[in-house]
Amino acid sequence: MWKLVSGRIIQTTDETRIKFRTNISQEILEKLEELSERHNTHSNYLLENGLWNVLAAGVIEFDKNLRPADRIQYKTTYDKELLESVKEFAKDHKLFINDVIEYSVGYIDFKDIKTKEHKNRLES
């Protein structure tokens, strides 16, 4: 992101974001890439949106026997507060974080997602 400091624009790192690596279904990632192109966003913004919605609902119905077999490593950044909440939510429901992430894809609200331009925003 960019910040306006003393009348000058300076590029800076968004301190509210944290890097995170997990394994996610390749099929789901491919679907997210298609959706992100269609909606002018990034796949991690879509996942964040779905995760916020799952956390807001407070419930999850997940069958551990139906875990995808095509999981691959996925590295991205998430909102720090969101990721901590997801970790706690997964622990409380005796699930893995990647289970919650994959589940959240069904809860994306396309009317309320960050666009690709969000990471290049200007803040004062």
The strand pair at 2-5 and 122-123 is best described as: parallel
Cα angle 27, 21, 105; round to 5 = 40
Mean local confidence (pLDDT), 105-118: 82
What does the alpha-carbon distance between residue 100 and residue 51 come to, in Å, rounded to a whole number?
8
Determine the 3-state secondary structure of 74 from DSSP.
strand
pTM, full prediction: 0.80
- Angle at which helix 43-57 crosses helix 26-38, to 10 degrees, equals 100
Determine the 3-state secondary structure of 50 from DSSP.
helix
**For the ranges 41-45, 55-59, 73-77, 119-123, which has the lowest average pLDDT?**
119-123
Q: What one-letter code names the amino acid at 46?
A: L
pLDDT of residue 17: 85
